[in-house]
Amino acid sequence: EAQVTQNPRYLITVTGKKLTVTCSQNMNHEYMSWYRQDPGLGLRQIYYSMNVEVTDKGDVPEGYKVSRKEKRNFPLILESPSPNQTSLYFCASAPLRTSGSETQYFGPGTRLLVL
Amino acid sequence: EDKVVQSPLSLVVHEGDTVTLNCSYEVTNFRSLLWYKQEKKAPTFLFMLTSSGIEKKSGRLSSILDKKELFSILNITATQTGDSAVYLCAVASYGGSQGNLIFGKGTKLSVKP
C-alpha cells in the first residue's frame, strides 16, 4: 500500500531533550516536506526536500533540522525542544513532475507536547 | 509577503444544501492552487488548478480558478454529513523556493443531518 508513515504518532517530552520524528514513504517520491499545524495558524511549512541531499527552509524552520540521506526517509530533528514547538506535525511527499510538488500525500501526523 | 486567505472560517449547513468556499491569494510568481480536505487526520488532496476558468469536478465537488482576480472557489452540492471537515486551500509559486507551499487557515464545514 502506498503511504507515508510517521513515528511516533504521539510524543510527550521535556524542554531541551533532543528528539527525532521519523518520516518514510514507499512511493519513490523525490519531494518530501514537514509541516506543523496549530490552531488559528493553519499548516505552515518547516522544511522541504526536492531530492536526496537537497533540503531547503520553509516558512518556520527555526528550532528544527532535517536530513535527506535516502530518498524514502526525511527525519525531523528537534535539537532542544521548547514548549512553543508543541504542535501537530505532518510529513508529506510528492512526485516531482512538470507541475511541481503540489499533489502531496500526507502522513498521519505526530502530536508533540513539550513540557 | 505571500498569503492565502480563506473565507468563511467556519460554516454550518444542513444536508442537501450547496456551499461555496472561497480562497483568495497574493503570491509572487503563481504556479498552482490546491484544495485539500482534512477530517480528523491528515489532509487529503482534492484538486489542483493551474489555469483560469477551467472547472475541475469530482462527484459533488467542483472548483474553479480566476487568475485575474486571484481567487478560487470550491463548490459542494447536495452536501452530506460526510462532507464535514476542514477544507484547506494552498498556493505554490515559482519563487526562489520551488517546493514552498503556502496554506490558508482553512474553512471548517459542519453539515447537520
Q: Does A71 touch chain B (CB under 8 A)?
A: no
Across the interface, do A33 and B99 touch by the CB < 8 Å criterion?
yes
- What does the pLDDT average to over A47-60? 91
What value does the mean pLDDT of chain A take? 92
Question: Residue B99: pLDDT above 90?
Answer: no
Question: How many percent of chain B have pLDDT more than 90?
Answer: 71
The percent of chain A in helix, strand and coil, each rounded to the nearest 5, is 5, 50, 45
Report the C-alpha gap between B9 and B86 in whole angstroms.
9
Given this model, what pLDDT does residue B77 score?
97
Contact criterion met (CB < 8 Å) for B34 and A103: yes
Tell me if B48 sits within 8 A of A103, measured CB to CB.
yes
Report the C-alpha gap between A65 and A51 in whole angstroms.
Answer: 16
Q: For residue A10, which amino acid is it?
A: Y
pLDDT top residue among A60 and A98: A60
CA distance A5 to A25: 6
